[in-house]
């Protein structure tokens, strides 16, 4: 993720993301809105007194899916995280357009048709 996007997330959601390993969010820019919306929703639940404070430990992509490892979630917040992961498998990690999970030599990503082509080209290079 671009540094300025990453910085804006750490700035606005320090209570959630402050303890993430190496202060790194290892996903593409296309999932920025997804993470931003997830963190906003999670913190809103906490600030309204309805849910505990979620603390993310690691945010990354695995098998083309968003993995948001966190502690302190109640069942509603766990459901929100699960939903974000499901949406990630339909959202291009590069640009945020509609995408699908694709595989190349054992590596999985979720990409739109254009970024899938680009990925294949770079793979062969």
Site for Zn ion in 81-120 (CB under 5 A): 92, 94-95, 97, 112, 115
Residue 64 CB, shortest distance to Zn ion, in Å, is 13
Residue 90 CB, shortest distance to Zn ion, in Å, is 12
Q: What is the DSSP string of 89-116?
A: TTB-TTT-SB-EEEEETTEEEEE-HHHH
The size of the interface with Zn ion (CB under 5 A), counted in residues, is 6
Q: Is 67 in the site for Zn ion (CB under 5 A)?
A: no
Which residue number, 15 or 101, has a Cβ lying nearer to Zn ion?
A: 101
Contact 42, 82 (CB under 8 A): no
Contact 80, 38 (CB under 8 A): yes
Q: Tell me the CA distances in angstroms from 106 to 56, 62, 68, one per residue in order.
A: 27, 12, 22
Question: Hunting for tokens 């080209």 — which residue is that?
Answer: 121
Which residue number, 19 or 61, has a Cβ lying nearer to Zn ion?
A: 61
Q: What is the token pair recorded at 38?
A: 């997830």
Site for Zn ion in 10-29 (CB under 5 A): none
Residue 91 CB, shortest distance to Zn ion, in Å, is 9
Which residue number, 46 or 100, has a Cβ lying nearer to Zn ion?
A: 100
Residue 30 CB, shortest distance to Zn ion, in Å, is 6
Helix (H) or strand (E) holding 70: strand 65-71
- Binding residues for Zn ion, rule: CB under 5 A, are 92, 94-95, 97, 112, 115
């Amino acid at each position: 993720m671009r540094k300025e996007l990453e910085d804006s997330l750490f700035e606005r959601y320090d209570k959630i993301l402050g303890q993430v390993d190496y202060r790194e969010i290892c996903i593409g820019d296309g999932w920025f809105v997804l993470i931003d919306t997830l963190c906003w929703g999670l913190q809103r639940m906490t600030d309204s007194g309805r849910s505990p404070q979620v603390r993310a430990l690691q945010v990354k992509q695995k098998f083309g899916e968003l993995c948001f490892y966190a502690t302190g979630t109640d069942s509603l917040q766990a459901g929100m995280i699960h939903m974000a992961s499901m949406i990630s498998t339909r959202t291009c990690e590069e640009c945020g357009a509609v995408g699908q999970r694709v595989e190349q030599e054992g590596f999985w990503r979720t990409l739109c048709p254009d970024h899938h082509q680009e990925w294949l080209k770079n793979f062969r290079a």
